[in-house]
Amino acid sequence: MSPLGIQTLSPLDGRYRKQVAGLGEHLSEAGLNRARIQVEIEWLLYLTDHGLFGARRLTADESRRLRSLVSDFDDGAVDDLARREAVTRHDVKAVEYYVRDRLGELGLTELAELTHFACTSEDVNNLAYAITLRAAVHDVWIPKARSVVEVLRQQALALRDVPMLAHTHGQPATPTTMGKELAVVVHRLELLLATVDDVEYRGKFSGATGTFSAHLAADPDYDWISASRDFVTSLGLTWNPLTTQIESHDWQAQLYQRISHIGRVLHNLCTDVWSYISMGYFRQIPQEGATGSSTMPHKINPIRFENAEANLELASALLDSLAATLVTSRLQRDLTDSTTQRNIGVALGHSLLALDNIEKGLGEIAIDEAALGRDLDGNWEVLAEAIQTVIRAEVTAGRSSIADPYAMLKELTRGHRVGADELRAFIERLDISAEARSRLTALSPATYVGLASRLVDYIEPNGS
């Protein structure tokens, strides 16, 4: 069998494994189990550090060796946990037994009963998911997203002065610049990525129904609320004091909705770039040895953007489902979230794969200024907006008596092409001031781009 596993069901674990491997480090079953062990170990150390129930404080070396169960987590540990779960039929219980047995090997058997102390499995799971998700998003997904934004930013700056015929409703419209259009996407993505940065990764640690009942039964005088807060925040998470058995997952829904929103903006970018390639505005740079079409040798298919589109659609479908499902749990607990959360890595994997394709795709295209110029020169009628607007200003200032300039320009240009000579001859006959006539005569579709270039400044690091 192939080392990639030809019988894998998901292409993320086969064909595209290399592109999404960074997420697998955190959001795989192994990554989740490593985080579960981390929670179990850190809770055990919290209890011993505070001398709960007469437990002694561990030495620095003992603490280090316990934490090495996390840092040295390997394939052997994965296999061990799988064997245990086959017996327990409970993933977190398998983790608990794994830790208890390791305590024996380390000569710390006297602490065995503090393993998983007063915990429901969801106390461990919700913290483990928060730890792994935070690492996956901040260490893998966000850097890739920002890398895509940076590529777009550099292209927007480089193309800020390249005029382009706009197409509103698919029809020739007031010209812009390619750089300004790319800058719009950069600006949108930056605002949305900031909202992903702002998500608080929350955790609960309060027992079977969120009431600290077992804790209080074990020691009625201990401040378990403060202990819970201190423990959760020690893991770098935000403490949630009011929950049922589960942490409510609202922060997860918020995160998935925001990443899905970013995906839809990127999907829009892909369809636009695809259209610009189709229109000849971008040329695709041939890649050595690559085949564009199996039968048409001349073709270079825009597969990077098409692949990204498909993966963004899959990602949004999964992310939207996660967000919708996770905010509901019957009464104090049901297990719908358990199966759902196992697909977090799949959802983010499709998103990451799309980002990778977009970044590569943007590096395989080049602007064709000649094609843009031909399109602009073939659509002089787009200056009708400028002409009728100038006439309106002239009439208001008392320098013209033309009635209904909009209707006049509609009659001249609507439904047919008007060339440069015809339009300039029309301008020469207008009842307007010499200064206004001079400004209009100097215009061309390529120069009628307003402040497009200046607007690109807003994506500079200090732009305002």
Query: Higher-confidence residue: 295 or 215?
Result: 215
pLDDT over threshold 60, residue 148? yes
pLDDT, tens digit, for every residue of 327-373? 999 999 998 989 999 999 999 999 999 999 999 999 999 999 999 99
pLDDT, tens digit, for every residue of 389-440? 999 999 999 999 999 988 888 888 888 788 999 999 999 999 999 999 999 9
For residues 244 and 160, the answer to whether their CB atoms sit within 8 Å is: no
pLDDT, tens digit, for every residue of 32-86? 999 999 999 999 999 999 999 999 999 999 999 999 999 999 999 999 999 999 9
Q: What does the pLDDT read at residue 410?
A: 86
Q: What does the pLDDT read at residue 418?
A: 87
pLDDT over threshold 90, residue 294? no
End-to-end CA distance of the chain: 57
Q: Which fold has domain 122-368?
A: Fumarase C; Chain A, domain 2 (1.20.200)
How sure is the predictor about 1, in pLDDT bands with cuts at 50, 70 and 90?
Answer: very low
Say whether domain 11-118 belongs to CATH 1.10.3720.10: no
Q: Let me know if 56 is exposed, middle or buried by CB neighbors in 10 A (0-12, 13-18, 19+).
A: exposed
The residue behind tokens 């967000």 is: 323
pLDDT over threshold 60, residue 5? no
Domain boundaries along the sequence of the chain: 11-118, 122-368, 380-444
Q: By C-alpha distance, which of 145, 147, 151 is closest to 362?
A: 151
Look at strands 202-203 and 171-177 and give their pairing: unpaired
Q: What does the pLDDT read at residue 138?
A: 97
Give the phi and the psi of residue 283 in degrees, each rounded to 5: -100, 140
Say whether domain 380-444 belongs to CATH 3.40.50.880: no
**Mean pLDDT along residues 16-26:** 93
Catalytic residues: 169, 293
Q: How far apart are CA 394 and CA 385, in angstroms?
A: 14
How sure is the predictor about 315, in pLDDT bands with cuts at 50, 70 and 90?
Answer: very high
Q: Residue 279's CB: how many other CB atoms inside 10 A?
A: 15
pLDDT over threshold 80, residue 300? no
Q: C-alpha distances in angstroms, 298 versus 262, 360, 461?
A: 34, 21, 41
Model pTM above 0.85:
yes
**Mean pLDDT along residues 225-239:** 98
Phi-psi region of 163 (alpha: psi -120 to 50; beta: other; left: phi over 0): beta
pLDDT over threshold 50, residue 458? yes
**Token pair of 122 as six digits:** 């969801």
Q: How far apart are CA 20 and CA 4, in angstroms?
A: 13
